[in-house]
Structures are given as C-alpha cells and as structure tokens.
Structure 1
Amino acid sequence: MAGPVDVLLVGFGAVGAMYAFILQRGGLARVSVVARSNYHVVKEHGIAISSRKYGDTKSWRPYRVFNSVAAALDRPYAFVVIATKALPDVGQKNSEVLAPLLSPSYAFPQPAYVIMQNGLGVENDLFHAADVASSGNPRVILASLYIMANLVDGGVQHEDVDRLIIGVCRKSSARENSADETALLEDFAALIRAGGSDAQVTHEIQGIKFSKNVWNAVFSSCATLARCGLSAFFQQPELEDQVTPIIRAMFHEVVAVGRALGYDETVIPTSAIDASIAETVFLNKRPGSRHKPSMLLDLELHQPLELDVILGDLIRRARILSVDIPRIETLYALLSVVQTQLISKPAQTAVTPKASHCPNCSLGIPDQCVLT
C-alpha cells in the first residue's frame, strides 16, 4: 500500500473507538467513523481514551465523523470495518447497516469488509450481499477479538491487551489462503500493527471463532440469566460445588458441536475445558472482582442481547448435525424470554460501563483469556 489508505469504521463503542484509534495512530490509514448514538459528542468534543498501553488522550478525534453510512459515500475505501453489536434477530443485519455501500449507487469499487463482532455466523448476510455487489468477488475478513476495553461515562478505558486474529470468508472449502487472500489479510494486519497492536493472520478463522464462542455461550449466558457477575457463582464453596459440574457439562455440549463440525484437538483441546473453568473461577474469586460479561451489561442497560449469534446459531448447527445439547437449548429458551422483554421496552441511558471485553479465558488459544 502506497501512502495512507481510507478506512471507514462503523460502530463507535469501546471496541470501535479503540480500533479507530489504533488504525489512525499507525499513520497508514485515514479513519472515517460512523458514530450513531454518540455522533454529536464525538463530533464536537472527540472522545477521551485512557489506556495503560497507549497512554491518555483527553480529546481524540478520528479523521472524519459521520452520523450515518449514507453520509460517508464520497470516496473509495480500502477497508470498511463493522464493530457494531451483532443483532440479526432484532433487525440489525450487517448487510442492512452497510446497505448504502452495497448499493449500485455507490460510485466506487467495493471495499474489503472487516467484521469485528462476537458470535457465530455474523458474516453470512454480509458475505452474500458483498458477493452480489462485487459481481462474484466478495472480500470479507472475519476477526476474532481479544481486547480489554470499556465505555465509561462516554470515554474509553483500555488496559494493555488488544489482539486480533483475522481470516477470510470464502465460497470454497479451501483450507489454505490463496496468494490474493494472504495479501489482503497482510495489508489489513499491517495497518493494525503500525498502530502498535497485535494482528495475526490465519487460514482457519472459523475454528478460532467457534473456540472463542465456547466461553461466551456458557459463562456469558449463565451470568446474564442469573443477572449477576461471575464472582457470585464462586464466592461460596457450597454454591461453587453445585454450579461447576453444570457449567462443565455445558462446555462439553458446545465442544461436541465443534467436534461434529470437524474442529479437532488442535483447534479445541478437550483439556482446555477444565483449564478455562479453573481460570475463570480463580479470577472471579479474587477479592473485589467486578467483571461482568458484556451480555449481562446489555441486560442491565435494557439493550438487546447478542443472543442469536452466541447461542442461536450454535443450536441451529447442533440440530443439523444431530448433536444433543439440552442444557444450551435451555439457556437459549430462557434468555429468549428475556430478549423479548428487552425488545418490547426502551433502552435506558448508559451510565455504567458498556461492552466490557476482558481477556480472561479463551478456549483453545493458549495464554489468551477472554471474558466477553
């Protein structure tokens, strides 16, 4: 890439703000941002970023700020990053959020799309839409994120971990990246690395995404259903003895789906189940532990949950493969009741930390721990 390239980032929460900051910090990208709910504040005052890794910036601003995708169609983009919540079941599909870019009225070549979202199947509708818009040559990058960042009082609090693993979505069943795919991935990774962050390229992003979703499917769902942080699960020995076997059984159910999908011990090691549970217990038994999974935070703010992409897609795959996961199906059914109530009521104003992404326990990825 010669000179700075234009990047459009959609979704200016904790993750979106940090990666906009990282991309622009490297000097290889001009970052335009679509900030919807916080547009006026960011436009007028920028956003405060407090980071153990990158230091404190009181009023950081991206290159440009827009309040909609439609307002940002004045130029070609090398990459379009979507960092919104993944909520296809409540009418927020990625292809609909990015529709102006995918329309024939967009006067420039189709960009490469980068999906920075939790869950499974988050790429499906966008990949199909990009396939149509690009006349059969879609370029869609899927990312697995490991970052510790909160939105607090309108600013971002970031610790010292921010890591991406990226791979391409493809039509074929090829297991290795082509030369063109490798070049595309390395081009985006170079932008991230220039900003001081870590980006790794893989040929097997689907397995890595599934591995990361194991923790979310169990611990995030249980905490949200119980409406309390995970420290409450493990502070009393008697309660821990009751809860832990159930959690372990849930982990085994999710891993069984992974096995049926073809993810072997090299992708999801069975030994990581107990290691993941043990580390989660250890971290949440510490005095003063206050971490809450982001799904629980969404519930506390009366905002829709990323339920379909964390549990719904998993269950659909299990049914196709005839894998019995009754505990996970129970979680999904009960949380669906909660989701219905959230959708029928207006969201509250966010005054507490939002979208916590804590590296705590990533199943199958050694030395990376993710609580999101």
Structure 2
Amino acid sequence: MRICIFGAGAIGGYLGAKLALAGADVSLVARGAHLAAMQSRGLTLIEDGREVRVPVRASAEPADLGPQDQVILALKAHSVPAVVPQVARMLGPDTTLVSAVNGLPWWYFHRHGGALEGTRLDSVDPGGQQWQQFGPDRVLGCVVYPAADVPEPGVIRHIEGRRFSLGEPSGAISDRALALSAALTAAGLKAPVRPRLRDEIWVKLWGNLSFNPISALTQATLDVLCTDPGTRGVARAMMLEAEAIALRLGVKFPVDVERRIDGGAAVGAHRTSMLQDLEAGRPMEIDALVGSVAEVGRLVGVATPTIATVLALVRLRAKVAGLA
C-alpha cells in the first residue's frame, strides 16, 4: 500500500517518520527549508528521549511521487483550498483521501442522513472546491490526537499522544479503513476504526472551538484559561452552544462540559496551536474551528451569541496582526 502524506509539518512529519521506520511505502509532500532538510539528511524524529534519523522520500511536487493508494491530508484547514489542484493530481480512481484536518470537515454532511444530507460548508470549503474536485466518496475521516512540533527544519519532536481515530462518513467498517489502521498500528500508533467518528470530531472540537480563540485573545496557557473563573465561563458558554448544535445532529457526548474543561486544565501550561500561530505570524484556523460551528448553528436554528462574539473578536485580532 502506497501512502503519501500531504503536509509534512509537525503531525504529518510525525506520521511519516513512524510509517517509514516501520517499513511502509510512504512519501511526503512538503516545502521550503523543511523539505530541503529532509531531502538532504532525512527526517529526524525526537521521541521518548531518543533521536533517530529516518530516510524519507519527499518532494514539493506531488507528480514526482506517483499514484497513491492513500493520501493523508495533514494541513491546517485554511491551507487546503489553495492546494486542492495539487492534491487532486495524486488521486486515482481508487485512491482514499484521509482527512486529518482540525475542525468540522468539509465532508461532514456526506452520508450523514436527514435534512442536511449533502450540505456543503462554505466556512471550510469555499465554493465547494474540495467537494467537487476530491469527491466525498473517497474520503476517510481521521481525528488527530498527538501533539508534536518542528523545532527546526527536518526535525519532528513528539510531545504526547499516539491515537489517530479513523472512520467512514457512513459509519461502515470498511476494508480501506482497516488497511490503514493496520499500517498505523504496525508503526506503533493507535488507530481505532470508529462507527461514530463524528462524536469524536465534536468532543475534540469542543476544546478547539473555545480554548484556541480564548488563548489567542488573552495569550493565556490552557491551565490558566481553564481555571480562571472568567475565561472558564466563556469556554463553558461556547461549549454549551456547540453541544446544543451537535445534539440536533444526533451526536452523543461521552463526557460533559465541565469534565472537558477540566481535561484542558490538566494538560498544563500549554500554548494552543492558534496562540502559537499568532505569535509566529502565521494565519490562524479561525473558520475551521469557530466559524464552521457558527455556520452549522445557523443551519440547525441554534443561537450562538457567545461563539459569535468570540469569533468577531478573534477575527479582528487576526486582522490587526496582519494575518487576515
């Protein structure tokens, strides 16, 4: 099975390194200094106190890597629309596209059932590019749990977590999902195939929806914003609004809001990805993590006053910082 990881940053690079170490036929699409470093000396993985250099096949041009069985899309959500034509060139008739992107996915309402079946989310798929050029039938969903970073070009440092939950939009336990699960498991990762992946999407999104923009607005780490009474209250209000939306869509939550916030506090002095992007002068995942929830709220008729307020503030924060 030929696997290509499109976007070999922290998470994509971690996946690529683990698969390559396990002997999988894996290639990576990257760019800039990170790509140059991988091409000249391989990909260095720092994990469990050890450092190992992994030879990898990497290119900026998907056409150089040939046809693939599985393409794992591991980019920030706002980066995807610009590379849709490049990704599409890697997709043969039977290629699976694994959507390892944060936030509500563009394919969310594919095989969902009900009145919103087939609805396209403009906040994460402007103009329906991904729906039209990729096609939702080839998508396999993925919820990413590991944390990693890129301390320097060509180096991936694993911080915590090894689980990549997989799931078909239809909820079926498919051969392609099981094949990818087996490859990831052989690489030392956890890759359960879930019949209700959307439940996990929302539980993770609960935190991303609230913690990320609050941290960008306040510059507070998770332990602080989850325990300060004011910001904890804002996060709670945002989560309750999101929960009301998700319940309308048939989602089942295995934990309640208070436990989810306590889980964020337990992570400690962690700077969210949105805060890290703001500090580094990179565009933030505002629409995928916050705007998409507001959009779905409108679709199902659930008011989101707190989400709308925080969304307006963080969008202005990005504009003032020159990132929008």
Check whether the contact 2:5–2:16 (CA below 8 A) recurs between aligned residues: yes
From the superposition, tell whether residues 162 and 241 of structure 1 become closer, same or farther in structure 2 (CA, over 3 Å): same
Q: Identify the residue that residue 250 of structure 2 maps to in structure 1.
A: 262
Give the C-alpha shift of residue 157 in structure 1.
1.4
TM-score using structure 1 length: 0.75
* Structure index of larger Rg: 1
Q: Which moved more, 1:190-199 or 1:146-155?
A: 146-155
Q: Identify the residue that residue 140 of structure 2 maps to in structure 1.
A: 141
Secondary structure at the aligned position of 1:31 is classed as strand
Secondary structure at the aligned position of 2:166 is classed as strand
From the superposition, tell whether residues 162 and 308 of structure 1 become closer, same or farther in structure 2 (CA, over 3 Å): same
Give the aligned residue type for 1:218: S
Matching residue within 90, 105, 117 for 1:121: 105
Q: Does 1:214 align with 2:234?
A: no
Give the aligned residue type for 1:114: V
- What does the per-residue CA deviation read over 1:141-182, in whole Å, with 9 as the maximum and x for residues that have no partner? 11001102121123221145210111123xxxx5x41xxx51
TM-score using structure 2 length: 0.85
Q: Identify the residue that residue 19 of structure 1 maps to in structure 2.
A: 15
Q: Identify the residue that residue 112 of structure 2 maps to in structure 1.
A: none
**Aligned partners of 1:129, 1:110: CA distance in 2, in Å?**
14
Give the C-alpha shift of residue 261 in structure 1.
1.5
Check whether the contact 1:10–1:33 (CA below 8 A) recurs between aligned residues: yes
Q: Identify the residue that residue 258 of structure 2 maps to in structure 1.
A: 274
Give the C-alpha shift of residue 224 in structure 1.
0.9
**Aligned partners of 1:309, 1:298: CA distance in 2, in Å?**
14
Give the C-alpha shift of residue 71 in structure 1.
3.1
**Aligned partners of 2:31, 2:232: CA distance in 1, in Å?**
40
Q: Identify the residue that residue 295 of structure 1 maps to in structure 2.
A: 274
Higher relative contact order (CA 8 A, sep 6+): 1
**Aligned partners of 1:95, 1:127: CA distance in 2, in Å?**
10
Give the aligned residue type for 2:61: S
- What does the per-residue CA deviation read over 1:75-104, in whole Å, with 9 as the maximum and x for residues that have no partner? 32111111111106xx735634413235xx
- What does the per-residue CA deviation read over 1:173-230, in whole Å, with 9 as the maximum and x for residues that have no partner? x5x41xxx51110011011011111100012222221221011101111001112323
Q: How does 1:32-47 map to 2 (within 5 A)?
A: 32-37=27-32, 38-47=34-43
Secondary structure at the aligned position of 1:65 is classed as strand
In the alignment, structure 2 segments of 5+ residues that lack a partner are 108-124
From the superposition, tell whether residues 194 and 161 of structure 1 become closer, same or farther in structure 2 (CA, over 3 Å): same
From the superposition, tell whether residues 234 and 322 of structure 1 become closer, same or farther in structure 2 (CA, over 3 Å): closer
**Aligned partners of 1:343, 1:71: CA distance in 2, in Å?**
35
In the alignment, structure 1 segments of 5+ residues that lack a partner are 103-107, 132-136, 346-372
Percent sequence identity is 24
Give the aligned residue type for 1:244: R
Q: Identify the residue that residue 201 of structure 1 maps to in structure 2.
A: 193
Count, aligned residues: 302
Secondary structure at the aligned position of 2:263 is classed as helix
Q: Identify the residue that residue 62 of structure 2 maps to in structure 1.
A: 69
Matching residue within 70, 74, 78 for 1:79: 70
